Chain A
Amino acid sequence: MRETYRNELKAIKAEVVDIGRLVIEMTRDSTVSLVEGDVDLAERVIATDDELDSRTIQLEERMIETIATQFPVGRDLRLLYSLGHINMHMERMGDLAVNISKATRRTAARTGPRTMYDLIRAQGNLVHRVLEAMLEAFETKDLELAYKLKEMDEPIDHLFKQFFRELSRLQDEEEIEWVSSMVLASRYLERIADHAVDIGERLVYMVTGEFEVFEDGFGDESGSPEA
């Protein structure tokens, strides 16, 4: 029944997965560029964001057209509505990867304290894990995994706090400027993971029709030092 419509829903979902892979790649590359001072790689991430933006807009148009012409209801409606949100989160995650890449531009010229690199690398690895788990939960509708995202996000917030402690130890003006860029990058990474947690919440709605907010999820500032 409704072959064309079913195929279109599948194609839209597949495109969201592809976009998710692109975002994971951009996040990983931006972090590597920062740690290795690789400005070329950072520039490639920034350039890729144009592709991401146009793909998310095209996808949004496709979803609007499907809603307008096919009158989705029930789980199809929940799917499309949730994909719209997830698509938006992906686009923002891409923007944050761009911000990290811009931090590479600012920091690549000199080498900073070793701890900073270690912290970013550790945080980048944790974020990568969260993103992979988010995409797997989405592809397989694995709610158990979706619920774990929040737990996986916690150490990322802790590492971000650790950055602030490192910042407070510094005296040298130039070093403070350098480290500030790193702290911002750490903040962007932490936000990327928060978007992934929020996507997890969307998955719960998509599958069950129930709205749930994971404790201390996206929008909660408790993970940041200003709270």
Chain B
Amino acid sequence: MTAMPAPAHTDALTGAAKFSVRDLDFYYGDFHALTGITIDVRENAVTAFIGPSGCGKSTFLRCLNRMNDLIPGTRIDGTITLDGEDIYGPGVDPVDLRRRVGMIFQQPNPFPMSIYDNVAFGPRLHGIKNKAQLDEIVEQALVRANLWKEVKDIMGRGGLTLSGGQQQRLCIARVLAVQPDVLLMDEPCSAIDPTSVQKVEDLMADLKSSVTIIIVTHNMQQAARVSDETAFFLQERQGEPAELIEFGRTAEIFTSPHDRRTEDYITGRFG
């Protein structure tokens, strides 16, 4: 394998790196899925991962909270640090990592329990029993998830009775209740109605002052609207690993990207 050229990097934002990824390669068994990924994800910013289907963006996202560990036969080369600490280092508890680095999926997946219990689930797991304290955590998480006003009078109702968009915000509240540092969102708006999309996008803007957000999206307008920085991934040829092609300020990526492949993708010439 020849050394990968550094991805074209447009004027980056200044600010501390939350995640620092260096020379990351990822394998599903024999299949080499990602190669040479080097990127700094900035703290308190929204970073979007874009690229055609199969470009490895979700795979990379799942490396960031070791979600891929759950798939047998996967392995990584290279390093990923969170606040300077190697997340694949010895002594790192993946469960604790996943509390710090929460994840939202495409399909909302509330637990079959009440709205209240969904949000209180994590804090309870971490040993919080005090009712008043739980009430406060639940309310705050629902407020931050832009859902409180809609559910405050129906907290005992089942989470699955909510609309799809509300369920997604409930899942966000459930993650926020355990005070994560980072929120990984994998296509969070693909399965929800436009009004809820707007609410999720609004809450991302509100949350980024306290949480670092990484969003994988197929919707380029969404990436352009919500993110501060954008990373473009591409698998150039079938069977070869995907790469990070370009990473930079979102405004620049969507007006004057440096790499021709980025420009061809964002202007809809392929993908």
Chain A residues proximal to chain B, CB less than 8 Å: 1-2, 5, 71-78, 208-210
Which chain A positions have C-beta within 8 A of B220? Answer: 71, 73
Partner of B257, one of A2, A5, A71, A74: A74
A73-B270 CB under 8 A given contacts A78-B255, A209-B255, A209-B256: no
User: Across the interface, do B267 and A72 meet the contact criterion of CB distance under 8 Å?
Assistant: yes
B221 at interface, CB cutoff 8 A: yes
Chain A neighbourhood of B221, CB < 8 A: 71
B266: contacting residue among A73, A208, A209, CB under 8 A: A73
Question: 27 A-B contacts, Cβ less than 8 Å apart?
Answer: A1-B268, A1-B270, A1-B271, A2-B268, A2-B269, A5-B268, A71-B220, A71-B221, A73-B224, A73-B254, A73-B255, A73-B266, A73-B267, A74-B254, A74-B255, A74-B256, A74-B257, A74-B263, A74-B266, A74-B267, A75-B263, A76-B267, A77-B254, A77-B255, A78-B255, A209-B256, A210-B256
CB distance from B53 to the nearest CB of A (A): 14
B residues 235-271 touching A (CB-CB < 8 Å): 254-257, 262-263, 266-271
Q: Which residues of B contact A209 (CB under 8 A)?
A: 255-256
**Chain B residues near A72 (CB, 8 Å)?**
267
Listed residue (B255, B257, B263, B267) with the most chain A CB atoms within 10 angstroms of its CB: B267
Question: Please, which residues of chain B bring their CB within 8 A of the CB of A5?
Answer: 268
User: How many angstroms between the C-alpha atoms of A190 and B257 in the bound complex?
Assistant: 36
User: In terms of DSSP, what is the predominant structure of the interface of chain B?
Assistant: loop
CB distance from B70 to the nearest CB of A (A): 36
Q: Nearest-CB distance from B226 to chain A (Å)?
A: 14
Chain A residues, Cβ within 8 Å of B263 = 74-75
Residues of A within 8 A of B256 (CB): 74, 78, 208-210
Separation of A78 and B255 alpha carbons in the complex (Å): 7
Identify the closest chain B residue to A73 (Cβ): B254
Q: Cβ of B262: which chain A residues have Cβ within 8 Å of it? A: 74
Q: Which residue of chain A is the closest to B220 with respect to CB atoms?
A: A73
In the complex, A75→B271 CA distance in Å?
17
- In the assembled complex, how far is the CB of residue B256 from the closest CB belonging to chain A, in whole angstroms? 3
Query: CA separation between A71 and B254, bound complex, in Å?
Result: 11
- The winner among A73, A77, A209 for most chain B CB atoms within 10 A is A73
Q: How far apart are the CA atoms of A46 and B224 in the complex, in Å?
A: 45
Q: Which residues of A contact B266 (CB under 8 A)?
A: 73-74
**Additional A-B contact list (7), CB under 8 Å, known A74-B255, A74-B262:** A5-B268, A73-B254, A73-B266, A73-B267, A74-B256, A75-B263, A208-B256
Closest Cβ–Cβ distance, residue A141 to chain B (whole Å): 15
Most chain B beta-carbon contacts within 10 A, residue among A75, A77, A78, A208 = A75
- The contact of A75 among B224, B267, B270, by CB within 8 Å, is B267
Least distance between B64 CB and chain A CB atoms (Å): 26
Query: Which residue of the partner chain A has the closest CB to B252?
Result: A209
In angstroms, Cα B244 to Cα A72, docked, is: 23
How far is the CB of B258 from the nearest CB of chain A, in Å?
9
Measured between alpha carbons, how far is A220 from B257 in the docked complex, in Å?
31
Q: Please, which residues of chain B bring their CB within 8 A of the CB of A1?
A: 268-271
Bound complex: CA of A208 vs CA of B266, how far in Å? Answer: 16
A2→B264 CA distance, assembly (Å): 12
Residue of A nearest to B269 (CB): A1
CA separation between A76 and B255, bound complex, in Å? Answer: 9
Mark B216-231 against chain A: 1 for CB-CB distance below 8 A, else 0: 0000110010000000
Q: Smallest Cβ distance from A8 to chain B, in angstroms?
A: 13
Q: Which residues of A contact B254 (CB under 8 A)?
A: 73-74, 77
Q: Which residue of A lies closest to B268 (CB)?
A: A2
In the docked arrangement, what's the CA distance between A78 and B262, Å? 15
Nearest Cβ on chain B to A132's Cβ, whole angstroms: 29
Give the residues in chain B near A75, CB-CB below 8 Å. Answer: 263, 267
Query: Chain B 173-205 against A: per-residue CB contact (8 Å), 1 yes, 0 no?
Result: 000000000000000000000000000000000
In the complex, which residues of chain A have a beta carbon less than 8 angstroms from the beta carbon of B255? 73-74, 77-78, 209
Q: How far is the CA of A71 from the CA of B267 in the complex (A)?
A: 9
Chain A residue at minimal CB-CB distance from B264: A74
User: Taking the nearest CB of chain A, how far is it from the CB of B154, in angstroms?
Assistant: 38
- Distance to closest chain B CB from A20 (angstroms): 24
